[in-house]
Structure 1
Amino acid sequence: MTMPLGRVLRNGTVVVLAVLWLVPTWLLVVNALVPAGDYSGSPHWLPGHVGLFGNMSQAWDKANLGPAFGNSALYATVSAVAAVVVATGAAFATVIMPVKRRVLWFWVIYSGTLLPLQVFIRPLFVSYARSSLYDTQIGLVLIYTAIAVPFAFFVMRNYALTLPREVVEAARMDGASWWRVFWQIHVPLTRSAMIAVFVFQFVAVWNDLMFGITLTTSRNIRPVMAALADLQGNYSNVGPPVVLAGALLVSVPTLVLFVSAQRYFVSSLKIHQ
């Protein structure tokens, strides 16, 4: 049988996109395997001697990644949990509860995603310096939570729109308060979406570099990506294989989290029946 032209084009596009993604990933992994002392300055396309763990050890020590891992775990976990709680409550209020001007409230909250984050750098830097929040853990937690809420609200609101209203109406007719409806009905029904949002926001905060290098200076406060950027600053001293090995090392937590929560992430993308 002859494959339809449309299917051929679609499959070909998928293959090309896969190759475009896999090539830099392959180069990253292969060159991270090269022992730092054996690197000649040209990228390796095929694996040779394996020095990955030695490179990771150098990256861990020279970039002081231990405290940075702990900082990023704190920032990403607290900010993602706070954003999920706030977004779930806001979605419940604007979709389930009989509030006025629902569309207006949606745009007020969602508008936080419409501007590039770079426009907030200068006012944040000035306000943080004046309020003693600069170079503090609480300062980073606050900004990470604030930037995570709008998109989290967007996802939770759209998911809440697919929930059966009859369940809520029946609970209200039986005398259940809005607080009870939220915790005993709404939260269980939206658990998969909440986990998916948590994973997405955790990864986003973990991978942030801009706020990490702008709002902090101390090595015991900086997140892991800012610490990795310091390693990049010592590029000529440690060599590209060490930098690439460090990049692989800091990506492990997000990879493990995504794989462990994959079924929740996928199920939240499906239309609720």
Structure 2
Amino acid sequence: MTTRRISAGTAVRNTVLVLVSLLWAVPTWLLVVNALVPAADYSGSPHWLPHGGFGLFDNMSQAWTRARLGPAMGNSLLYAVTSSAAAIVVATTAAFATVIMPVKRKTLWFWLIYSGTLLPLQVFLRPLFLAYARTGLYDAQIGLFLVYVAVAIPFAYFIMRNFAQTLPGEVIEAARLDGASWWRVFWQIHVPLSRSAMVAAFVFQFVAVWNDLLFGITLSTSRNIRPVMAALAELQGNYSNVGPPVVLGGALLVSLPTVVLFFSAQRFFVSSLKLG
């Protein structure tokens, strides 16, 4: 009887997971199917099944040329790599200080740092815009870099703190008894042990920065500064005459780097989630 109940529960769980997965896959399916339609043959209504000719590469080519996706993808790559790496360094250091080191009020420090994720990003737009306009950071790469680092730190800290709590305290105690300084413990013990969690946090933040549109269109105007999502949004502007298949082809094209990164770091991603 118990075995039958477990089997029935497993079957129900697997069925629910499959249904949820299919539901999540519907937008991706619609994106791919409609990106395949040649722009000249698009009727104005979305297709659920492949229809007409194969215009994916032509749509991608038009999106690449008209939106200047090459320089924009270079900008996003710069922002995503540098800001994510800087945020991971800060978050790892903060996690080490608030979990491993004997500091007071550890819970207070956690909420003080993590509270940066509790407010919607739209709250920061007006003060950021005014401050950037007065300090010369508006429409500058350093300005976008700073805001991306600040936004990425709280969630990266959340991941690194949870992972740090799973690390064996005996290793740290043994190192301290042998006379190792906190600086040495951090770089030679904590960082190597936290490598998988750092990679997972980097993937999270890279995807978030790469997909950002809000700060990209608010804090920049020049095409040599704007990230890729802001450049892609220009294809849907009032003065754009391209069809939806071109926009979808561009969206599919700019999503490839995040997909490649995720599958490349999947081993670190899964292992860190299991431990953290």
Do they fold alike, i.e. is TM over 0.5?
yes
Task: Report the 3-state secondary structure (helix = DSSP H, G, I; strand = E; otherwise coil) of the residue aligned with 1:170.
Answer: helix
Q: CA deviation at 1:102?
A: 1.3
Q: CA deviation at 1:9?
A: 3.9
Aligned position for 1:40? 43
Residues 1:260 and 2:264 are matched in the alignment: yes
1:190 is matched with which residue: 184, 191, 194? 194
2:160 is matched with which residue: 142, 153, 156? 156
1:236 and 1:138 mapped to 2: Cα distance? 29
Q: CA deviation at 1:12?
A: 3.4
Residues 1:115 and 2:119 are matched in the alignment: yes
1:235 and 1:10 mapped to 2: Cα distance? 49
- The C-alpha deviation readout for 1:91-115, integer Å capped at 9, x for no partner, is 0011111112211111111110111
Identity of counterpart residues, as a percentage? 76
2:25 is matched with which residue: 19, 22, 38? 22
Q: CA deviation at 1:7?
A: 4.2
Query: Aligned AA for 2:145?
Result: V
Partners of 1:192 and 1:268 within 8 A in 2: yes
1:223 is matched with which residue: 222, 227, 238? 227
Partners of 2:164 and 2:194 within 8 A in 1: yes
Query: Aligned AA for 1:18?
Result: S
- The C-alpha deviation readout for 1:172-199, integer Å capped at 9, x for no partner, is 1111111110010000000000000001
Partners of 2:132 and 2:143 within 8 A in 1: yes
Listed as ranges, the gaps of 5+ residues in structure 2 are: none
Q: CA deviation at 1:22?
A: 2.0
Give the RMSD, CA atoms, in angstroms: 1.6
Q: CA deviation at 1:23?
A: 2.1
Query: Aligned AA for 1:193?
Result: A
Query: Is the alpha carbon distance of 1:168 and 1:187 closer, same or farther for their aligned partners in structure 2, counting shifts above 3 Å?
Result: same
1:87 is matched with which residue: 87, 91, 95? 91
Query: Aligned AA for 1:19?
Result: L
- The C-alpha deviation readout for 1:147-202, integer Å capped at 9, x for no partner, is 00001001101100110011011111111111110010000000000000001000
Q: Which region of structure 1 is more displaced relative to structure 2, 30-39 or 245-254?
A: 30-39
Aligned position for 2:132? 128
Task: Report the 3-state secondary structure (helix = DSSP H, G, I; strand = E; otherwise coil) of the residue aligned with 1:237.
Answer: coil
2:274 and 2:26 mapped to 1: Cα distance? 31
Residues 1:203 and 2:207 are matched in the alignment: yes
Partners of 2:217 and 2:226 within 8 A in 1: yes
Counting matched residue pairs gives: 272
2:164 and 2:155 mapped to 1: Cα distance? 14
Aligned position for 2:243? 239
After the TM superposition, list the runs of 4 or more consecutive aligned residues in structure 1 that deviate by more than 3 angstroms. Answer: 1-9
